[in-house]
Amino acid sequence: MSSDLVENVLVERRGRVTLVTLNRPEALNALNLATMTEVVAAVRAADADPGVGAVVLTGSAKAFAAGADIKEMASQDHLQMYRADWFRGWEDLTRVRIPVIAAVSGYALGGGCELAMMCDLIIAAENAKFGQPEINLGVIPGMGGSQRLTRAVGKAKAMDLVLTGRMIDAAEAERSGLVSRVVPTESLLEEALAVAETIASKSKPVAMMAKEAVNTAFETGLAQGVVFERRLFHSLFGTPDQMEGMAAFQEKRPAEFNQG
Ligand SMILES: CC(C)(O)CC(=O)SCCNC(=O)CCNC(=O)[C@H](O)C(C)(C)COP(=O)(O)OP(=O)(O)OC[C@H]1O[C@@H](n2cnc3c(N)ncnc32)[C@H](O)[C@@H]1OP(=O)(O)O
């Protein structure tokens, strides 16, 4: 296990998984621009590393992230926001090709909830609290929340959360389809790393294509998405991992996939 502390983020290697931990406890991991740069750089480095098959992004027990850094944003004016295209950098996280898991304990509010939703799946601790409270600050979500939350939980629940600013607990988040699983708070990291390791043990190119196919459902219409999926599926019949996976099934043995 190697580890590297950048200013606001701790990056560790755990087997075939990169663990990225937000590290601004004094501000409940509020997401300032420096944190954005460091998180995106860490996840992109993991994506480029042939030995890494998945990333886990987490925060502290009290807060995954309590939102964008209000103190950093408060004094900006319209033209400064527009010129800097404030928050655009976070979109780079959604372009990485290996699966990224958000392991959420405590608060995931505003930009924190939006950051979790940029990941491919969210595993929540029982103490997790999600919300889009921007309306209480006189703004609306600005890191994709109104779009990704609506796709994840549907219009009714998204309107409720965005218009009232209320928080939901892990159980409601799971019922709503926002999170994949809820686990005991004390075992969150262990569970998230185990899921990540399971994903990393699969064929890496196949996991990347599976991610791309599911994401296409978010971004295109049904007919286009189904054709895209079928074309990816066909292309896998040119890979050793398809041959290995199907041979292993017939020979009643575990498959040994290429993870590079
Ligand atoms: C990205 C967009 C465009 O979508 C917008 C956003 O994300 S806007 C931000 C949305 N988030 C919020 O509105 C949540 C703000 N935080 C809180 O409401 C509370 O901190 C809390 C309910 C999460 C926790 O309350 P409590 O336990 O009482 O802790 P605090 O004393 O409030 O906080 C400790 C410390 O952290 C600082 N803090 C917390 N959140 C932020 C933040 N989003 N930005 C900057 N700083 C934050 C808080 O100010 C405290 O520090 P000190 O002031 O004591 O130095």
Q: How far apart are CA 113 and CA 102, in angstroms?
A: 10
Cα(43)–Cα(29) distance, integer angstroms:
17
Structure tokens at 39: 């998180």
Distances (CA, A) of 214 to 10, 120, 210, 217, 252: 29, 9, 6, 5, 29
**CA angle, 239 as apex, 235 and 241 as ends, to 5°?**
125
Say how far residue 102 (Cα) sits from the centre of its chain. Answer: 5
CA angle 89, 207, 209 (to 5 degrees): 75
Among candidate residues 68, 124, 128, 192, the one labeled active-site is 68
Residue 112 alpha carbon to ligand 1 centre in Å: 11
The answer to whether the CB of 108 falls within 8 A of the CB of 149 is no
pTM comes to 0.94
Q: Is the CB of 145 under 6 A from ligand 1?
A: yes
Tell me if residue 172 is catalytic. Answer: no
Ligand 1 contacts CB of residue 162 (under 6 A): no
Annotation says 111 is catalytic: yes
Q: What are phi and psi of 53, to 5 degrees?
A: -110, -10
Per-residue pLDDT 10s for the chain (260 aa) are 555 666 899 999 999 999 999 999 999 999 999 999 999 999 999 999 999 999 999 999 999 999 999 999 999 999 999 999 999 999 999 999 999 999 999 999 999 999 999 999 999 999 999 999 999 999 999 999 999 999 999 999 999 999 999 999 999 999 999 999 999 999 999 999 999 999 999 999 999 999 999 999 988 999 998 889 999 898 989 899 999 999 999 999 999 998 66
Pocket flag, ligand 1, residue 143 (CB < 6 Å):
yes
Find the catalytic residue in 46, 67, 114, 124.
114
**Would the ipTM clear 0.90, i.e. be above it?**
yes
